[in-house]
Structure 1
């Protein structure tokens, strides 16, 4: 069975989960706990970042590379159009979404992490209580310093928010003008699954798709998740989830690929 090394609230992991669910592929989710889990992940993949997909002896890193691998290896329900123009549009939108919604989404989330309850809620399932308590006790000033440490000055944060607003406005206009149900045609492509999955940090879907605390569902970054100007986008995204995203269940023996309720030790071949 396919194995996905992930964080439950990683939006790039969610991009891959949407691809897997859309293609109807059975997979096992392995939650990578910060610290020792990332060390083991480095041993298997050469990096500490998720997502990482393991298919037998093959190990694929990077969400785009994983998606392209899955489409080539498991061609049923393709996510890359065959028409050259639609294919080019799909790949351009996917790359744009990675660099805009994906990267800026992480920056914008840092602002929300000033809430201690949010900080502890987004940690992977099974994170030790001592680590949760440590994360929850971080003062707001330290979050500001963390942002400065990675280049997120107040000006950089304002720029990230402005770019995200422009991105969502553009997607809403595209959806409003498109007579088809999806961004490049009448069936989902990698562009749709990427844009939908990467919006996870802006607003967590309300449905039973993720192993997260109930109070987080439907919540998101103020100014984005609660902005009526983006209702078109989130309505579209939620319909895509309802149609193609499998519900969470703790039973990892079925085909839903649901995560276990506690972290799984990574086995190194």
Structure 2
């Protein structure tokens, strides 16, 4: 069976999960513990970042490379068009989504976390002890903003990311205004990438992710709750209803992440 080494709240991991579900492939999720788990992942694959897909004895890293591998190895329900022009547009949008929505949504999310104690506590893994949640919650917002400078997520960077994402969402709303999909009349990698990468902007309200109930359907203030972008999130949610398997669905084997074991 396919195995996906992942972070549950990684937007790039979600992109791969949506592709796997769209193709109807069964897989087991293996949650990588930040830090020690990444060291074990490095031992197995030679790199520390998720997602990583294991197929037999083969490890494939990077969400785009995983998508291309799945398209070659499991060609049923194709996600990359055969028409040259549509193929080019599909791959162009997928690359743009990785570099824009994927990266900038993390910066915008950091801005939201630095302003809301409850939001950052809710984003901790569900198994996190209450004491740890309390300690995270009492970290002053100003301290998190200072830490943001240290990792390149200062207020100016966060604000710039938010403004760019507003433009991105506006463009997506325009593209989808008179078309059911971003490329052609069938879902492609472009749609699946954009939809999966958008989870940090607004979490789905149905049980696709291991999330506290208080976060389902919630998003980054000014982005996920902005009525101007509602048509995009409505489109995203319809795509999820059609193709994403809920974690409660019996046919999704290994739907609850298994933590990576450290030898």
Per-residue deviation at 1:46? 2.2
Question: d(CA) in 1 for partners of 2:117 and 2:202?
Answer: 18
1:13-28 to 2 correspondence within 5 Å? 13-28=13-28
Total equivalences in the alignment? 262
- 1:95–1:138 distance in 2 versus 1, CA, 3 Å: same
**What is the Cα deviation at residue 153 of structure 1?**
2.7
> Which of 256, 263, 266 does residue 261 from structure 2 map onto?
266
SS at match of 2:5: strand
Alpha-carbon spacing, 1:122–1:46, altered in 2? closer, same or farther (3 Å): farther
TM-score by length of 2: 0.93
Q: Secondary structure at the match of 2:259?
A: coil
User: Does residue 1:255 correspond to 2:256, yes or no?
Assistant: no
* Match in the other structure for 2:191: 192
2-side partners of 1:224 and 1:53: how far apart?
31
TM-score when scaled to structure 1? 0.91
User: For the Cα contact (< 8 Å) 1:19–1:193, is it kept in 2?
Assistant: yes
How far 1:134 sits from its partner (Å)? 4.1
Distance 1:165 1:176 in 2: 16
Question: Where does structure 1 lack aligned partners over 5 or more consecutive residues?
Answer: none
TM-aligned CA deviation for residue 73 of structure 1: 0.6
Instruction: Please give the residue correspondences for 1:96-175 in structure 2 after superposition, counting only pairs within 5 Å.
Output: 96-114=96-114, 115-127=116-128, 131-175=132-176
Match of 2:56 in 1: 56
Structure 1 stretch 76-85 or stretch 41-50: which is displaced more? 41-50
Evaluate the alpha carbon distance shift between residue 6 and residue 125 of structure 1 in structure 2; reply closer, same or farther with a 3 A threshold: farther
Q: State the Cα deviation string for residues 2-22 of structure 1 (Å, max 9, x = none).
A: 011111111111100000000
Where in structure 2 are the equivalents of 1:76-95 lying within 5 Å? 76-95=76-95
Q: CA deviation at 1:223?
A: 0.5
How do 1:163-242 and structure 2 match up within 5 A?
163-178=164-179, 181-242=180-241
1:245 counterpart = 2:240: no
2:17 and 2:82 mapped to 1: Cα distance? 23
Aligned counterparts of 1:128 and 1:67: Cα–Cα separation in 2? 35
RMSD: 1.8
